[in-house]
Chain A
Amino acid sequence: MTMRRLSGVALAGLAIAVTLFAAPPAATAADTPNPPADLKAFQKYFKDKFPKVKFEDFVNGPYSMDEGLYKQWKEKEEFPPYEFALDLGKELMAKPFKNGKTLADCFPNKGIGIRQDYPHFDAKQGKVITLELAVNQCREANGEEPYSYTKDEMAAVTAYMAFTSRGKVFDVKIPDDPRALAAYENGKRYFYTRRGQLNFSCATCHVQSPGERIRAEVLAPALGILNAMPIYRSEWSGMGTTSRRFTSCNSQVRGVPLKPQDEEYRDLEYYLSYVSNGLPISGPGARP
């Protein structure tokens, strides 16, 4: 009896060993980064999960998931709370630095209607450049103090840039550069890695449970979530950038947030923006 059981175990062990050795190359092929396939699968997942939601409506986050919220939001949009930020953003874009140049000078088309091209991979710097990073790089190159990444001026400037890009579809490119692909993969890994005392990944809330409530809030789908950035959150009584959203998400799962615009956050933004390609910019958004 004992002998039989033992040999059974040994056999099973052998079977595993055989499978391991015979691991077909197909398994490794599936591990090769394939952003276009990721994008397709990612968008299909949300379309299948929410067959009633129109594709371009995913950019409206929780409002696309809840009829009552949608009505409230439509009314709010008639007089949106981010109006003051738009005015400030417009002013800051045109305000000359000490050297006479302006923030608008640093961007193609003076920063108008270009939100959909960020983040992009910069081959010279060898890293992902987000819109927020580009704003501060411009300020520093012109001898100005960088803005805080999370709110106030940074939120105002990016709000204005998003506003002038509304309706244009996300067009994030991954160039044929192993470093760009590595950044994309790193962002993807970050998105699906669990962290914090609550042991949540970004995907736990925003892929697995969009439309569900977390306390009083309705969770937004990850698809299109960055199209609405920056946002005015009633909870914050103010504007917040993508950086603010990432750091506060990390705190909410009782993890230790990274520094705003840390490499991993930029890679995360790169991944998350790429898989929302094809969806229009709707920022700045207003969220409860």
Chain B
Amino acid sequence: MASTIRVRATASGDSTEVQALIQHPMDSGFVKNAKGELIPPHYIQQVTIEHGGKPVFVADWGPAVSKDPYLKFAFKGGKKGDDLKVSWTDNKGASDTLTAKIQ
């Protein structure tokens, strides 16, 4: 299966701008399906983005975050060609990781 993560990171000057899109249902646990049954909660709890083995961005997410979430941030440092590792884990224990090169 294709990765659930899309990343685009561009270095300019002394900072790197990172954009990421993650494919995830982010079910809050409060929504019912067509049959009237509750859809069990299923959401990402933590997103980590590492540069050179060091986390540069860590987010604790919860059920209020939208489906297929998008994030954007910038950090100091990072050069073209460096590896950037993006990973997430959800409340059901599932996870995914992707390593992308900074452009």
Contacts and interface: CB of A to CB of B under 8 A. Distances in A.
Contacts of B67: 237-238
A79 B66 contact: no
A238 B66 CA distance: 11
B101 interface: no
A79 B68 contact: no
Interface in B5-42: 6, 8, 19, 21, 23
Interface string A84-110: 100100010000000000000000000
A79 B2 contact: no
Nearest to B67: A237
A81 B19 CA distance: 12
Interface residues of A, number: 9
A78 interface: yes
B57 interface: no
A87 B2 CA distance: 8
Contacts, number: 23
Nearest to A81: B68
A83 B8 CA distance: 13
Given A78-B19, A81-B21, A84-B23, A237 B2 contact: no
A87 B68 CA distance: 15
A144 B70 CA distance: 35
Contacts of B72: 79
B70 A79 contact: yes
Contacts of B8: 78-79
B19 A79 contact: yes
B44 to A, nearest CB: 15
A87 B23 CA distance: 12
A81 B66 contact: no
A237 B68 contact: yes
B70 to A, nearest CB: 7
A83 B6 contact: yes
Nearest to B21: A79
Contacts of B66: 237
B70 A81 contact: yes
A127 B2 CA distance: 38
A244 B10 CA distance: 37
A192 to B, nearest CB: 34
Contacts of B6: 79, 83-84
**Which of A79, A81, A91, A238: most chain B CB closer than 10 A?**
A79
Interface in B46-103: 66-68, 70, 72
A248 to B, nearest CB: 16
A288 to B, nearest CB: 13
Nearest to B71: A79
A91 B2 CA distance: 10
A88 to B, nearest CB: 8
A238 B23 CA distance: 11
Contacts of A87: 2
Given A79-B8, A83-B21, 7 more contacts: A79-B6, A79-B19, A81-B70, A83-B6, A84-B21, A84-B23, A84-B68
Interface of B: 2, 6, 8, 19, 21, 23, 66-68, 70, 72
Interface of A: 78-79, 81, 83-84, 87, 91, 237-238
20 contacts: A78-B8, A78-B19, A79-B6, A79-B19, A79-B70, A79-B72, A81-B21, A81-B70, A83-B6, A83-B21, A84-B6, A84-B21, A84-B23, A84-B68, A87-B2, A91-B2, A237-B66, A237-B67, A237-B68, A238-B67
